[in-house]
């Protein structure tokens, strides 16, 4: 349950209680408090109850003014305001979309049928990014005299004329095939939409939906493979970097760099240079240098290498020196159409000793094989190469003891695991406890206080455990994602020990990893008794493979003590198990909006002896072996074995056939192969996200007709239904909308 961080402090209940109590005759008040009264305090309790109701009525009266405005009204008032403008309401489960729909109904009606409205609906109703393409504009056809001259409309990358044949000498355009920015023309295809088939017809409107979100993380320590080779991810994984949404207001047709989604290397390296007369006059150059530069006036050059090569040739012929002007030209001549101008340093940046590396010395490159894929010889103006599709970084000239930091965006469908999103409702303020910043060795945490990481850097601890815990909190600051690697000086186990059995412990917003003690697995071990342990908005690294092929050890949670309540909410964790030999017991395990990932679906991800397990909106990429289970909207990809089948329930959930489960209700038992997920690899933006290949029973199997699993609370199918309804309402007559999930 999310508690309001700022409840009303109007003290109306206290005021009305005392007001009513003052009206009660003194004789009854004295009798109510008398020691001889067999039920003392009953009258006072009644007055307090009436006072609370009076306070509620007073607040309702105070809100009557706000309830007249759609921006501030309570949810119950939305249908009444919608009725005033005859709005066709979408599902009440999509509260944000319903409110925006009512607020902008008149705007939609005045501009119905235009691309402006159709694209605006994607963001307003579904809350996603998207682009609408009229497919008839992408079809092969013969041009006629009423068409505008095709030359200004040719493709920027492929040089293809509208409606004409592809220029096979420009293969770079193939990367954009079937995307919203496709520059090629297609044959008529009236088939039903299925993958890439059925997209191009005169009546089709293609809505390309980008559902994954981009989260910015600042001040990250990249993982160093050596002095020159780094990964943006602090654990050494390959991750596809994302670009944030930067679409301008008022509305204009979307450009590729403006939509939040995976960043392409080609787009990051898209640098087009154009020297105009005003730019030349603004340079600190001699007259002879200006005359030399006028030889390439208004000539478009793609890439820093072509520009610098052309400048060197020109200045060698004239005998002038271009070195002093090169940085000025690279900075001033970059055109607005260049993707690099908009992506660096806005979407990602590299810092060397706290100074951002300048744009003109950064180049996109294929770092799949690191330096063997870079151009030879190196362009002397390039200092940093970035592969945005693998999340890799190459420094051409490393400096000893240099501090390298990065800023970038990663992608994920929603706010699960440790991440840079708003956690204000959960971050606790304290002037005591240990605080960490600037990375490096993490000092020991205070076992009885609130301990906070104030940035997103990488930390490590060589302690073998943490003792004397009682009411401790380890948290990240709001919008921060620190990575803490546990490196026990002995073995691979980090042990949590309580002061006594009434102790509590909270982890919030922290990414925990391990070095595995030289093995492929490490343990976060609960070594003694706790009343409650809460893990919220955290990541316990489920392991993987680094960019150099070495293993990232996985961190599993092992309970060796007696824990009354173990809560895991909005998190991504590895295996959860108990050490029965040491007397480990979890009396109650509660999982909400969480992904539990084992190394493979054939390995138990949750394995407990006795105790009760409660799951709400959980995806388990592995098996589950427990004693008693209460599951709702749970998606279990591995073997499910529940010992006590007479108690518990398995409602609106899914598991493989032949599972041993408690009494089911509206659940499904079917094979769950890997292709039902966009990805099962932690680090991918589509991690544990259902793919379009998943059956309808899973994609709409929740109690509210949303999907089953950890992303159920995002109500993706419900938002899509609302979008489809509104598109049908405001689309041009005779058009056929179809929706394509790009992410």
Cis before 345? omega within 30 = yes
| Of 207 and 398, more confident | 207
Contact 55, 12 (CB under 8 A): yes
Rounded Cα distance between 274 and 41, Å, is 85
Decide if pLDDT at 376 tops 70.
Answer: no
Residue 374 neighbours by CB under 8 Å, 6+ apart: 365, 366, 367, 385, 394
SS3 assignment, position 76 = helix
First-to-final CA distance of the chain: 30
Work out the burial of residue 356: count CB atoms within 10 Å of its CB; fewer than 13 is exposed, 13-18 middle, 19 or more buried: middle
Bridge-partner residues for 606, per DSSP? Answer: 576, 624
- Six-digit token pair at 211? 């559902």
Which one, of 143, 141, 221, 129, lies nearest residue 180 by Cα? 129
Rounded Cα distance between 208 and 180, Å, is 7
Output the pLDDT for position 9.
Answer: 75
Output the pLDDT for position 177.
Answer: 87
Rounded Cα distance between 600 and 554, Å, is 12
Helical axes 12-23 vs 42-62, angle rounded to 10°: 130
Decide if pLDDT at 577 tops 90.
Answer: yes
Q: What confidence category does residue 320 fall into, taking pLDDT thresholds of 50, 70 and 90?
A: low
Q: What confidence category does residue 4 fall into, taking pLDDT thresholds of 50, 70 and 90?
A: very low
Decide if pLDDT at 685 tops 90.
Answer: yes
The predicted-structure confidence for 406-434, as pLDDT tens digits, reads as follows 999 999 999 999 999 999 999 998 778 89
Average pLDDT of the chain, as a whole number: 90
How does 629-663 read in b/e, with b if 16+ C-beta sit within 10 Å? bbbbbbbbbbbbbbeeeeebbbbbbbbbeebebbe
Output the pLDDT for position 332.
Answer: 87
Decide if pLDDT at 1 tops 60.
Answer: no
Strands 404-412 and 349-352: antiparallel
* Mean local confidence (pLDDT), 78-106: 94
Least confident of 332-341, 529-538, 664-673: 332-341
| pTM as predicted | 0.90
Bridge-partner residues for 591, per DSSP? Answer: 568, 615
Output the pLDDT for position 493.
Answer: 93
Contact 709, 635 (CB under 8 A): yes
Decide if pLDDT at 251 tops 90.
Answer: no
The predicted-structure confidence for 588-627, as pLDDT tens digits, reads as follows 999 999 999 999 988 999 999 889 999 999 999 999 999 9
Decide if pLDDT at 515 tops 80.
Answer: yes
Bridge-partner residues for 269, per DSSP? Answer: none
Output the pLDDT for position 262.
Answer: 96
Q: What is the DSSP string of 249-275?
A: SS--PPPGGGS-EEPPHHHHT--EEEB
Work out the burial of residue 206: count CB atoms within 10 Å of its CB; fewer than 13 is exposed, 13-18 middle, 19 or more buried: buried
Q: What confidence category does residue 374 fall into, taking pLDDT thresholds of 50, 70 and 90?
A: low
| Of 323 and 583, more confident | 583
What is each CA distance from 547 to 13, 226, 373, in whole angstroms? 60, 12, 15
* Mean local confidence (pLDDT), 359-372: 85
Output the pLDDT for position 3.
Answer: 41
Tokens 């596809």 found at: 240
* Residue 27 dihedral angles phi and psi, to the nearest 5°: -65, -35
The predicted-structure confidence for 433-488, as pLDDT tens digits, reads as follows 899 999 999 999 999 999 999 999 999 999 999 999 999 999 999 999 999 999 99
Rounded Cα distance between 107 and 88, Å, is 14
Bridge-partner residues for 595, per DSSP? Answer: 572, 619
Output the pLDDT for position 151.
Answer: 66
Decide if pLDDT at 317 tops 90.
Answer: no
Q: Where are the domains positioned within the chain?
A: 12-62, 214-270+338-412, 272-332, 435-720
Contact 195, 396 (CB under 8 A): no
Decide if pLDDT at 378 tops 80.
Answer: no
* Mean local confidence (pLDDT), 391-418: 93
Q: What confidence category does residue 5 fall into, taking pLDDT thresholds of 50, 70 and 90?
A: very low
DSSP H or E run through 394: strand 392-395
Q: Where are the beta strands (DSSP E) in 487-582?
A: 493-498, 504-508, 511-514, 521-526, 530-536, 539-540, 544-545, 551-552, 554-559, 562-569, 572-573, 576-578
Contact 687, 594 (CB under 8 A): no
Q: What is the DSSP string of 426-439?
A: TPPP-SSS-EE-SS
Q: What confidence category does residue 249 fall into, taking pLDDT thresholds of 50, 70 and 90?
A: confident
- Six-digit token pair at 490? 């002995």
DSSP 125: I
How does 690-707 read in b/e, with b if 16+ C-beta sit within 10 Å? beeebeeebbbbbeeebb
Output the pLDDT for position 456.
Answer: 96
């Amino acid at each position: 349950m999310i508690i309001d961080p700022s409840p009303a402090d109007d003290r109306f209940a206290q005021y009305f209680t005392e007001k009513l109590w003052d009206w009660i005759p003194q004789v009854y008040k004295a009798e109510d408090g008398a020691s001889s009264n067999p039920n003392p305090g009953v009258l006072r309790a009644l007055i307090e109850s009436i006072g609370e109701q009076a306070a509620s009525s007073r607040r309702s009266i105070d809100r009557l003014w706000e309830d007249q405005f759609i921006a501030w009204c309570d949810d119950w008032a939305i249908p009444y305001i919608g009725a005033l403008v005859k709005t066709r309401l979408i599902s009440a489960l999509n509260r944000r979309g319903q409110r925006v729909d009512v607020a902008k109904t008149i705007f939609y009606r005045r501009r119905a049928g235009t691309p402006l409205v159709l694209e605006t609906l994607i963001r307003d109703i579904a809350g996603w990014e998207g682009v609408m393409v009229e497919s008839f504009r992408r079809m092969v056809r013969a041009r006629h005299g009423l068409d505008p001259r095709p030359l200004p409309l040719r493709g920027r990358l492929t040089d293809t004329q509208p409606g004409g044949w592809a220029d096979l000498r420009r293969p770079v355009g193939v990367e954009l095939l079937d995307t919203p920015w496709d520059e090629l023309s297609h044959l008529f295809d009236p088939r039903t939409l299925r993958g890439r088939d059925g997209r191009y017809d005169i009546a089709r409107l293609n809505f390309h939906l980008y559902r994954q979100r981009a989260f910015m993380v600042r001040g990250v320590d990249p993982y160093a493979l050596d002095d020159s080779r780094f990964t943006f991810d602090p654990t050494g994984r390959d991750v596809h970097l994302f670009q944030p949404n930067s679409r301008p207001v008022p509305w204009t047709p979307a450009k590729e760099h403006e939509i939040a989604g995976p960043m392409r290397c080609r787009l990051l390296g898209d640098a087009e240079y154009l020297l105009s007369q005003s730019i030349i006059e603004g340079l600190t150059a001699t007259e002879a240098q200006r005359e030399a530069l006028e030889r390439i006036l208004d000539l478009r050059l793609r890439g820093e290498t072509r520009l610098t090569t052309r400048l060197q040739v020109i200045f060698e012929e004239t005998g002038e020196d271009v070195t002093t002007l090169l940085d000025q030209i690279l900075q001033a001549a970059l055109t607005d159409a260049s993707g690099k101008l908009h992506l660096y340093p806005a979407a990602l940046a590299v810092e060397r000793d706290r100074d951002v590396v300048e744009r003109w010395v950064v180049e996109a490159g294929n770092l799949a094989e690191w330096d063997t894929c870079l151009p030879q010889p190196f362009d002397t103006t390039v200092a940093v190469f970035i592969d945005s599709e693998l999340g890799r970084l190459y420094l051409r000239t490393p400096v000893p003891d240099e501090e390298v930091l990065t800023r970038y965006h990663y992608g994920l469908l929603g706010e699960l695991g440790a991440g840079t999103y708003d956690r204000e409702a959960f971050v606790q303020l304290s002037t005591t406890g240990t605080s960490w910043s600037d990375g490096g060795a993490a000092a020991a945490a205070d076992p009885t206080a609130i301990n906070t990481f104030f940035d997103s850097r990488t930390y490590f601890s060589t302690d073998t455990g943490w003792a004397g815990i009682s009411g401790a909190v380890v948290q990240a600051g709001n919008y921060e994602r620190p990575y803490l690697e546990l490196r026990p000086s002995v073995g691979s186990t980090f042990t949590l020990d309580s002061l006594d059995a009434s102790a509590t412990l909270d982890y919030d917003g922290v990414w925990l990893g391990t070095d595995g003690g030289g093995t492929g697995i490490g343990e976060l071990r609960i070594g003694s008794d706790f009343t409650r342990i809460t893990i919220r908005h955290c990541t316990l690294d489920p392991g993987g493979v680094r960019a150099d092929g070495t293993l990232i050890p996985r961190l599993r949670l092992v309970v060796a003590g007696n824990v009354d309540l173990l809560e895991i909410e909005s998190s991504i964790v590895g295996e959860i198990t108990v050490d029965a030999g040491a007397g480990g017991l979890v009396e109650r395990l509660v999982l909400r909006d969480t992904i539990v990932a084992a190394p493979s679906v054939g390995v138990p991800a949750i394995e407990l002896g006795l105790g009760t397990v409660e799951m709400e909106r959980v995806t388990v990429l592995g098996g589950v072996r427990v004693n008693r289970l209460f599951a709702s909207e749970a998606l279990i990809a591995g073997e499910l074995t529940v010992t006590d089948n007479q108690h518990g329930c398995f409602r609106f959930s899914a598991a493989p056939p032949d599972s041993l489960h408690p009494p089911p209700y509206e659940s499904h038992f079917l094979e769950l192969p890997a292709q039902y997920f966009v990805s099962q690899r932690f680090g991918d933006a589509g991690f544990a996200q259902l793919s379009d290949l998943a059956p309808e029973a899973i994609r709409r199997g929740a109690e509210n007709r949303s999907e089953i699993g950890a992303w159920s609370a995002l109500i993706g199918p419900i938002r899509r239904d609302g979008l489809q309804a509104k598109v049908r309402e405001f689309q041009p007559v005779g058009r056929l909308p179809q929706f394509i999930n790009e992410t």
